[in-house]
Amino acid sequence: EIFGLAISAGPLQKSIHGFCSSGSICDLDQLGIQNIQGRNFSVVVETGFAQSYSVLNTFPAEIPVVLREINNGLYKPLPYYIAKLFMLVVRTTLEALMFTAIIYLVSGASDDISFFVFALPVLLCAITSSAFGCCISAIFEDISVAMQLMNPMDFVSYITAGLFYQLNAAPVLSSLKYISRFYYGYEAMTILQWNGVNSIACSENKDLPCINTGQGVITEYGYHPNNLLLDVVGLLVMFLILNAIGFVFLLKRTRKEASY
């Protein structure tokens, strides 16, 4: 089973990812800024992708049994969806914390940030990503069709997160960042990482630009230091909206499709 294989291979993939990060130079200098930002982006995005695609087969695999049991009056669609959601949130939390702990310990993040602060944006992004996967799973019966839709949507979320270009440089494209779970997660991670850093060493080469404070790093990537609450609320709102949409489509399927 392809999704079972993906889940079972997850811990190995996470371990490899952690050891690959162990060679990073995470000192507070100009090179360290890029290394730390790259590491944090990888953690947020890798966790988000893993969780959204791992739940994609949730409803297509169970819908025949669910239809039969709902038709027999064993339960209603809402309790089923809430129970499924609770189970996925617990699983996502455990997997995200395991992944984050590996990266945190191996990559040297423990030298400059606490584990709770490091894990919070990753965990919120992972839970929201699982909601995105559940929503798509509830809408489409065919997984291949669902993945064809998810790929461009994930690409937009990926490029508008803020690592690849300065968000303020392209206002039209940047407006899409508000539907990107990676943007909220990565901005929150950046703010928590660099807030309170008052001194960053500059390069000896005077021709190279120098960002000498944590506030400078935050603004350089197009973020705002006061947006942390906005990022947390944004992820929670996306989580609720995606699950509401997913439940509506699941409810429509239980009413229209014949039971088996």
**Mean pLDDT across 196-216:** 85
- Please indicate, yes or no, if residue 68 is contained in any of the structural domains: yes
Which tokens hold the place of 104? 């945190």
- Please indicate, yes or no, if residue 75 is contained in any of the structural domains: yes
- Please indicate, yes or no, if residue 13 is contained in any of the structural domains: no
Specify the residue for token string 């995105």. Answer: 132
pTM (two decimals) = 0.85
**Mean pLDDT across 92-96:** 95
- Please indicate, yes or no, if residue 6 is contained in any of the structural domains: no
Query: Domain range for residue 84?
Result: 26-256
Which tokens hold the place of 249? 């489509």
Q: Do 116 and 100 touch, CB atoms closer than 8 A? A: no
**112 confidence band (pLDDT: 50, 70, 90):** confident
- Neighbouring residues of 216: CB distance < 8 A, sequence distance ≥ 6: 200
Q: Structurally, how many domains does the chain consist of? A: 1
- Please indicate, yes or no, if residue 20 is contained in any of the structural domains: no
Q: Give the pLDDT of residue 257.
A: 56
**Mean pLDDT across 102-106:** 89
> How far is residue 241's CA from residue 179's CA, in Å, rounded to a whole number?
11
**6 confidence band (pLDDT: 50, 70, 90):** very low
